[in-house]
Structure 1
Amino acid sequence: MKILVGYVPTAEGEAALDAAGREASLRGASVLLLNTSRGDAYIDARYANEAELETASAKLREHGVEVTIQQAVSNGDVAGELLKAAAAEDVGLIVLGLRRRSPVGKLILGSTAQRVLLESPVPVLAVKAPTPHDD
């Protein structure tokens, strides 16, 4: 089995990475780490650099799992890139980090996670980053 984790170098991405590592360890699965950019700016902080990807890969290997890394520029369709990778790699689970948004923000901006949750043919594990007051 293979687990796809949508990774960006943020607290939400780190939460997804940790959850994917735990799930892969429990299931005896490998992890496909997909980092993608929306392609809407010359510099995108969501597009991880080599050091960030190596750190993320090392965190997954700490769980004793095999890791493959892919990067893509999505031309504004991050959900599409995730779903395409899930189909191409025959994954059994997708792990995503969710960011906190107001109800109005969700309505106006839409949601990559929402689209993946609705369109994915495989289970999706959505996790939130811990807040500063979480223990």
Structure 2
Amino acid sequence: MSTIVAGYVSTPEAEAALEWAIDHAAQSGARLVVVATTGAAAEVGVSEEQEIDALRGRLDGAGIANEVFHFHGPAAGAADSILDHSRRVDADLVVIGQRRRSPVGKLVLGSTSQRVLIEADCPVVAVKPR
């Protein structure tokens, strides 16, 4: 069974990437491993645990083999977490959300997706929201 790793945080870009990963896993019979960074849910009154539970329920409801890893830490560490998990599970594919940023914005602020694209040991799909 092949394994897909997807990075997730509550953003339109990551939401699009997760939908793509769920669809691809369902079609290919792959296992989906999600590295989830939480925090945005607190803004709407949802705890991190509730957010992770909802994500697990969504994946289970899609009928695909899955695991969810909850990443706790600064946003700058999210790329390391995605890369580490993709290596640990010997991922066949990594799926990430991509937002539009200027070259200067990437230089000044860094980019999780840029690091994953450059450093992953397997193919990476970058998904933009519609």
Q: Which moved more, 1:98-107 or 1:47-56?
A: 47-56
| Distance in 1 (alpha carbons) for counterparts of 2:60 and 2:111 | 30
Contact 1:36/1:72, CA 8 A, preserved across alignment? yes
| Distance in 2 (alpha carbons) for counterparts of 1:50 and 1:113 | 25
Length-normalised TM-score, structure 1: 0.79
How many residues are paired up?
Answer: 124
Q: Considering fraction of residues, name the structure with more helix.
A: 2
SS in 1 for 2:108: helix
Q: Name the counterpart of 1:79.
A: 79
Length-normalised TM-score, structure 2: 0.82
Contact 2:7/2:96, CA 8 A, preserved across alignment? yes
Q: Name the counterpart of 1:17.
A: 18
SS in 2 for 1:99: coil
| Distance in 2 (alpha carbons) for counterparts of 1:57 and 1:73 | 17
Identical aligned residues as a percent: 40
**Residue 104 (structure 1) shift:** 2.6
Matched, 1:49 2:48: yes
Q: Name the counterpart of 2:59.
A: 60
The ranges of structure 1 where at least 4 consecutive aligned residues each deviate by more than 4 angstroms after the TM superposition are: none
SS in 2 for 1:70: strand
Correspondence list, 1:1-135, <5 A: 1-36=2-37, 44-45=39-40, 49-75=48-74, 76-130=76-130
Q: Which ranges of structure 1 fall in alignment gaps of 5 or more residues?
A: 38-43, 131-135
CA RMSD of aligned residues (A): 2.1
**Residue 117 (structure 1) shift:** 0.6
Q: 1:103 to 1:46 in 2, by over 3 A?
A: farther
Q: Deviations over 1:13-41 (max 9, x none)?
A: 2111101101111211111111136xxxx
Q: Name the counterpart of 1:41.
A: none
